[in-house]
């Protein structure tokens, strides 16, 4: 294999990127499965249900102590199914939101297939945030190997100011922890400034440490922390709201 660095281009999204971008968003949710599994399995509510169920079976149904231990794999199976259903629903929702964005930014690797990148080879990330070219020209100029490996969307944010909301932030698993996420966040900042947005906002859950780290590295700051109720007050997911003020864009 060649020792030349991989070339990753950060550019504005085009219409023909939509299918790959939606798939990346779906992959992003599936990557959080095990983090979500352990998070919810070890919640106080889950453990209390196991203990209460075991007590009922042991005292009123005469089930042995060894038999009561079977509640643990049952609870694990229930948690797994709930996470799979919730992740699929959220993945579909966020994937569809890509088509309603204000603008999108993608990372496209050139000169190498997307699967199985050699981590010994360096990444050369360059920004090319010019307005998208017409589709026929874009397709004609594509190299032999070109694949979208990261995506982020910015939509209009509700509120009194004209701000943007960053969402659908995903990087292909083979290309994470190599600066691609930070470069995408920087692309979103440049795009927001060009559109005269006052600031960008985003929300990251406790399960999205990679996305939060990429945004922090790109200069985002924590504005607030809160919990999203999932099952009343008994089960909630911690979230952090991040913000990035945008200075006026320089004249082009």
Whether 167 is covered by a domain: the verdict is yes
Alpha helix locations (H) across 64-179? 65-68, 71-97, 135-140
247 pairs with which residues across the strands?
none
Quick check: is 89 in a domain?
yes
Task: Give tens-digit pLDDT for 63-106.
Answer: 898 888 889 999 999 999 999 998 888 888 888 888 889 999 99
* 77 Cβ contact list (under 8 Å, min separation 6): none
Residue 174: which pLDDT band, with cuts at 50, 70 and 90?
confident
Residue 192 · residue 246 · CB < 8 Å: yes
pLDDT in tens, 185-238: 999 999 999 999 999 999 999 888 889 999 998 999 999 999 999 887 788 999
- Tell me 218's DSSP state: T
- With respect to residue 39, please indicate whether it lies within any of the assigned structural domains: yes
Is residue 1 in a domain?
no
CA atoms within 13 A on the CB side of 217: 15
- Rounded mean pLDDT, 148-152: 95
Please check whether residue 127 lies inside any domain of the structure: yes
pLDDT computed for residue 139 by the predictor: 47
Q: Which residue, 185, 191, 200, 198, is CA-closest to 252?
A: 191
Global confidence as pTM: 0.83
Give a yes or no: residue 97 inside a domain.
yes
In the chain, the number of structural domains is 1
Which pLDDT score, from 0 to 100, does residue 160 have? 63
Alpha helices (H) along the chain: 18-30, 33-41, 44-60, 65-68, 71-97, 135-140, 180-194, 209-217
Over residues 99-108, the pLDDT tens digits come to 889 999 999 9
Q: Is position 57 within any domain?
A: yes
Please give the Cα distance from 74 to 183 (Å, whole number): 43
What per-residue confidence (pLDDT) applies to 161? 73
CATH number for the domain that contains residue 62: 3.40.630.30
d(CA 28, CA 168): 9
Considering only residues 159 and 165, tell me which one the structure prediction assigns the higher pLDDT: 165
Question: Which tokens is 125 given?
Answer: 């990330």
Q: Which domain holds residue 222?
A: 6-245
**Is 251 part of a structural domain of the chain?**
no
């Amino acid at each position: 294999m060649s020792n030349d660095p991989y070339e990753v281009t950060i550019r504005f999204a085009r219409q023909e990127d939509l299918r790959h971008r939606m798939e990346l968003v779906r992959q992003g949710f599936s990557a959080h499965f095990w983090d979500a599994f352990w998070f919810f399995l070890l919640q106080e509510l889950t453990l209390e249900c196991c203990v209460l169920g075991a007590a009922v079976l042991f005292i009123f149904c005469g089930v042995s102590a060894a038999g009561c231990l079977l509640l643990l794999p049952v609870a694990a199976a229930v948690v797994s199914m709930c996470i799979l259903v919730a992740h699929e629903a959220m993945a579909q929702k966020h994937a569809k939101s890509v088509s309603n964005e204000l603008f999108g930014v993608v990372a496209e690797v050139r000169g190498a297939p997307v699967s199985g990148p050699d981590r010994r080879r360096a990444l050369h990330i360059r920004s090319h945030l010019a307005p998208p070219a017409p589709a026929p020209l874009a397709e004609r100029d594509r190299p032999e190997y070109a694949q979208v490996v990261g995506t982020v969307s910015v939509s209009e944010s509700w509120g009194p100011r004209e701000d943007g909301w960053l969402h659908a932030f995903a990087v292909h698993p083979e290309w994470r922890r190599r600066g691609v996420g930070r470069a995408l966040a920087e692309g979103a900042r440049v795009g927001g400034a060009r559109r005269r947005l006052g600031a960008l906002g985003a929300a990251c859950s406790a399960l999205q440490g990679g996305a939060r780290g990429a945004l922090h590295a790109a200069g985002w700051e924590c504005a607030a922390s809160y919990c999203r109720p999932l099952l009343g007050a008994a089960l909630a997911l911690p979230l952090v709201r991040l913000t990035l003020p945008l200075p006026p864009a320089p004249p082009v």
